[in-house]
Structure 1
């Protein structure tokens, strides 16, 4: 059981865990999850870490078939600039490995923005904290558990 699943259980929200056999040769972890679980890529979200103004880390959650708009993320979080965080720094801050970073149960509380497109689904899928493991939950519940906010951050 991962910290993400423990956090969802403790909060007593409605969620489901879905697992699949992860292929280490997969080029895109999120697209692999969507394909193996038979889901639309728009409903499966990836968790990315960015660095705001070269200092503060932030979490961006966007559909796997889209790219993170770093300028939009910076604007939403009232920063001048955002860059992708180095993978090693993302792993240290979250306690998860790249490809299995969940927006839930992270070691440090970081500002989180969930792309507005998630509002079009009753539930979305995000990593449950391990490659080959997804957690399905309502976007609003993800925001409540992470103290996050909505934002138009994908393109």
Structure 2
């Protein structure tokens, strides 16, 4: 693992440090763009990857972050039933503009502005999970409790 962090990862590291945790952003030698690639680079299961997906709120047009276990597909109907939010697809330019990161490196924290967040309750089964840290090859380790505290997200059953 390289010690040199890119600007996007530094932004994430600064956010984590400001929130009183000892999280360390790690630059991986291989890609972490997909949950499968991240798990392979880290040496964990795909389910332990907390993938950050940005959607568009169907009513407001604002970004909605869904953090899902790496093996789960998000069921928009379950999200709507649990939260009242209708999820719409967001394109790459929307994601970069609204949250400040490119798809494949979107972290669950340190966005351009506050983002409503929905968390996959399946992540609770792991003592250790991994999330993207701003680039397609940077990650940080945390646990589900910290994920909830850092994001102020709502835990729901969202898997298809």
What is the TM-score normalised by the length of structure 1? 0.88
- For the pair 1:56 / 2:62, whether they are aligned, the reply is yes
> Does structure 2 conserve the Cα–Cα contact (< 8 Å) formed by 1:124 and 1:136?
yes
Alignment of 1:72-83 (within 5 A): 72-79=78-85, 81-83=86-88
CA deviation string 1:96-132 (max 9, x = no partner):
1110011110001111011001111112101011111
> Does structure 2 conserve the Cα–Cα contact (< 8 Å) formed by 1:43 and 1:125?
yes
Alignment of 1:71-150 (within 5 A): 71-79=77-85, 81-150=86-155
CA deviation string 1:37-66 (max 9, x = no partner):
111001012110112225232100112222
- For the pair 1:69 / 2:113, whether they are aligned, the reply is no
> Does structure 2 conserve the Cα–Cα contact (< 8 Å) formed by 1:45 and 1:126?
yes
Aligned residues: 151
> Does structure 2 conserve the Cα–Cα contact (< 8 Å) formed by 1:48 and 1:59?
yes
Which structure is higher in strand share? 1
| Cα distance in 1, alignment partners of residues 45 and 146 from structure 2 | 20
| Cα distance in 2, alignment partners of residues 50 and 77 from structure 1 | 14
Alignment of 1:26-37 (within 5 A): 29-37=34-42
Cα separation, partners in 2 of 1:15 and 1:72, compared to 1, 3 Å = same
| Cα distance in 2, alignment partners of residues 2 and 74 from structure 1 | 34
| Cα distance in 1, alignment partners of residues 71 and 120 from structure 2 | 12
> Does structure 2 conserve the Cα–Cα contact (< 8 Å) formed by 1:2 and 1:130?
no
What is the TM-score normalised by the length of structure 2? 0.85
Task: Name the SS for the 2:97 alignment partner.
Answer: helix
Task: Name the SS for the 1:105 alignment partner.
Answer: coil
Compute the displacement of 1:84 (Å). 1.8
> Does structure 1 conserve the Cα–Cα contact (< 8 Å) formed by 2:13 and 2:24?
no
Gaps of at least 5 residues in structure 1 are none
Gaps of at least 5 residues in structure 2 are 1-8
